[in-house]
Amino acid sequence: GNLTDLLTLPVAGIYTIVLNPEGAAIGSMTLQLFSVPPDVTGPITVDGPPVTATTTVSQNVSLTFGGSLGQRVSLQSTSSTYNGWVDVFIYKPAADGSASTSNGVIYQTCCWGSGNLTDLLILPAAGTYTIVLNPEGAATGSMTLQLFSVPPDAMGTITVGGPPVTMTTTSPVQNASLTFSGSLGQQVALQSTSTTYPGWINVFIYKPAADGSASTSNGALYQSCCWSGNTSTGVQTLPSTGTYTILLDPPGMMTGGMTLNLLSQ
């Protein structure tokens, strides 16, 4: 059941295949040598129609799309008939903006099937991006992909001891962000009182930057994978004075809303 990946012959001539059994191994092996058609190529458009690509053994798919610096997108597999996993790569453009597979990736994974989804992808440059599907082993089949734009995160403020705040996300992969001011040693608790999300969502509370400004790169005071309509952080003691950031991160394709209270303890 072993299989080489695609081999592109470098010169014309007679090639030799050598089998070298390891150790004292004896037996027989049946081999088949077959041609691989060119990769399936084509365009895909942000917020355009779904694209379905079909491959045979060792054949890949290469789809290109135009993107701009800072554009927010996500890629989803809406269906798949592959009889195995598919490796997925999204390659950055070349320095001149043209399509390339040698300038690094913005996304890669080993294990896509039906219903997979990237997290938010923020495009690092303007140009032509390349999506490559590489079915593992001898997998054959087809996959339908949808590339869609992601609106900016929903943003707002919440006050310790103030009124509840409802945050709503209307697009898959969109997050919600709330900031609040806190002081060193202050004790607070965040509580969800209701939700319309159809499943658990991820919740983070990020500490301020060293200068007290809002930040999501200075570590989390609190994080949990599993919030619903009646969940609480419990008492949290703030480690510094500054602006804290609450981030709601719904997984997968979920959209909805959540009402939060920030309580003084």
**Can you tell me the mean pLDDT for 87-100?**
98
**Can you tell me the mean pLDDT for 139-166?**
98
The pLDDT of residue 73 is: 98
Q: Which of 118, 149, 180 is the last residue of a domain?
A: 149
The answer to whether residues 142 and 54 touch, using CB atoms and an 8 Å cutoff, is yes
Closest CA to 176 of 156, 148, 160: 156
Pinpoint the alpha helices (H) of 149-191: none
**Can you tell me the mean pLDDT for 17-26?**
96
pLDDT at 10 over 90: yes
The answer to whether residues 139 and 82 touch, using CB atoms and an 8 Å cutoff, is yes
pLDDT at 50 over 90: yes
One domain, residues 160 and 125: no
Provide the percentage of residues in the chain whose pLDDT is more than 70: 100
35 within some domain: no
Strands in the chain per DSSP E: 40-43, 51-55, 61-67, 72-80, 86-91, 105-112, 121-122, 127-135, 141-149, 154-157, 165-169, 176-182, 187-195, 201-206, 220-227, 231-232, 236-237, 242-249, 256-264
One domain, residues 172 and 145: no
CA gap 212, 37 in Å, rounded:
58
Can you state the percent helix, strand and coil of the chain, rounding each to 5? 0, 45, 55
One domain, residues 142 and 181: no
24 within some domain: no
176 within some domain: yes
Residue identified by tokens 């269906």 is: 79
The pLDDT of residue 5 is: 86
The pLDDT of residue 202 is: 98
pLDDT at 1 over 90: no
pLDDT at 98 over 90: yes
CA gap 89, 86 in Å, rounded:
10
> Which structural domain, as residue segments, surrounds residue 92?
40-149
Mean pLDDT of the chain: 97
pTM: 0.87
Distances (CA, A) of 186 to 209, 237, 263: 17, 6, 11
pLDDT at 30 over 90: yes
For 35-47, the pLDDT digits (tens) are: 999 999 999 999 9
- How many folded domains does the chain comprise? 2
The pLDDT of residue 164 is: 98
Report the CATH number at residue 163. Answer: 2.60.120.380
**Can you tell me the mean pLDDT for 184-207?**
98
2 within some domain: no
Any bridge partners for residue 1, and if so which? none
191-197-199-204 Cα dihedral, nearest 10 degrees = -40
